[in-house]
Chain A
Amino acid sequence: MEKKVILEASHISKTFFSSRGDMDAIEDVSLNVRKNEFLVLLGPGQCGKTVLLNIIAGLVNATSGTITLDGKPITGTNSSIAFVFQRTGLYEWKTAMENVEIGLKYKGVPKEERRKVAQKYLELVGLKGFENSYPKALSGGMKQRVGIARAYAANPEILLMDEPFGALDAQTRYSMQEEILKIWSQETRTVIFVTNNIEEAVYLGDRIIQFTERPARVKKEYDLSCLSRPRNYVDPEFLRIRTEISDNEELALE
């Protein structure tokens, strides 16, 4: 596996200032993301991992610290980084096809060309035949497939996924986990995947970075390259790692 570092976060801290007092969300987090790896950021609910993802995406400014992409520091949003939102964030006034197209549309790619790309990714996520459906007519799992296709179609180097399956029911969640790995193996990109679900993290990740409770600090890193894919939820080694991580996890009182 390629070991080249594509994205580096160094000494990121984030404090939210408000009249009711300051709140530290992230405290001195540094991490490297390697090209084409599936990196999982795991932590208890509300711990600040989503804030970290928003900082990498350029939607939120860090209080201190820097993000470098391919060795160059970045600020604000970047065309090499796409985002899959937990609440999908599909535009309800656009069809599935038009939603997938937006990244290319805003870049000024001609309609015919972007239609072709969008079609390819809609088919990749298994939504052939739903091109002209509006989000309202799609199920939760299908909406998130559109969200994934939209992120891919923007042709980024890095895909950020913020608990993308968090709002789905358990069964859909399992099938989406399988689906995302299938898509990723066909169109390999660097993925940074945020979740609070340990099983999901072990099933998906090449590497897991575990965070503490708020303020988020890096607690431990797990290399899962020893687990072959496709993984099995009841494989002894899978269960061993899962237990190890869960023993390290602080129980969040939500």
Chain B
Amino acid sequence: MKTKNNPLMENRSLPYKIFYYISPCLLLIAFLIFWQAVAASGRTLLPTPYEALERLFTIWTGTIAKKPMIYHVFMSVRRILTALLISIGVGVPFGVAMGWNKIFRAIFKPLFEVIRPVPPIAWVPLFTLWFGTGEGSRIMIIIMGVFMPIVVNSYTGVTMVPEINFDVGKVFGAKSMDMLFDVVLPSSLNAIFAGIRTAVGGGWMVVLASEMLAARSGIGYLIMQGSNANDLELAIVGMFMIGVLGAVFAYGFDFLERGLCPWRRK
């Protein structure tokens, strides 16, 4: 039985176990019933769950704005992944350098702290002016959203390395580069990954916003399209796709982290 591996379930009575596993399903069913009731009342334009589900399947065979559904999903994923890769490639070394080197920190931290609170969307006018309304501009906006948490977490991770780790390094003769790559980086990997996870969440928000503002493709465009054409099913399908993709991303990063940090495996 499955409960055998679950420590929460040990020494629990049978009714408790049933309640534990049944209640989330009940909540989901209640949600669907509520949705169905609201949709069937006819006072809103909300499609029923069944209609939404049907649309979810048929949408893959049709086209939106002359492109198949898969193209829109691909465009959104490509935008967020491009922005993420650039931000990780630049942001992690930048954050680590800020935590590691006092001079570097003294020079860059004030500027960084001023830029940090500016919401990514606020950059739209500037970026549109500089880079036009094309793909580059959109990716820059997304970078503004994902770059900050990655830098902040890498920086915090490095400054939080326990003092004893440095003492051990010193006693056993670690040179500066040993200390950085063999001690500081592995010590702060956890925080760096936490930053990337936060960045992915925030990243989706910015992707959507940038696609809603000015784009002919992407999931954000689908949702906007659904809104403009009174096609709520399309908007709901878009929302559902974001949920699925978000979960896929979260699992992907967990998988990556477990691969990179074998010492944290049970």
Contact = CB atoms under 8 A, between A and B. Distances in A.
Mutual binders A and B? yes
Interface stretch (B127-135, B170-178, B219-227): B170-178
A219 B174 CA distance: 36
Given A91-B186, A92-B263, A93-B186, A59 B167 contact: yes
A91 to B, nearest CB: 7
A72 interface: no
B173 A107 contact: yes
Interface string A125-156: 00000000011100000000000001000100
Main SS of the interface on chain B?
Answer: helix
Nearest to A107: B173
Interface string A64-103: 0000000000000101011101010101111100000011
Contacts of B171: 57-59, 77, 81-83
Contacts of B107: none
**A: interface residue count bin:** 20 to 34
A103 B173 contact: yes
A94 B263 contact: yes
B263 A134 contact: yes
Given A93-B186, A93-B263, A94-B263, A77 B170 contact: yes
Interface residues of B, number: 21
B53 interface: no
A17 interface: no
Nearest to B170: A77
A204 B172 CA distance: 25
Contacts of B230: none
Interface of B: 164-165, 167-175, 178, 182-183, 186-187, 189, 261-264
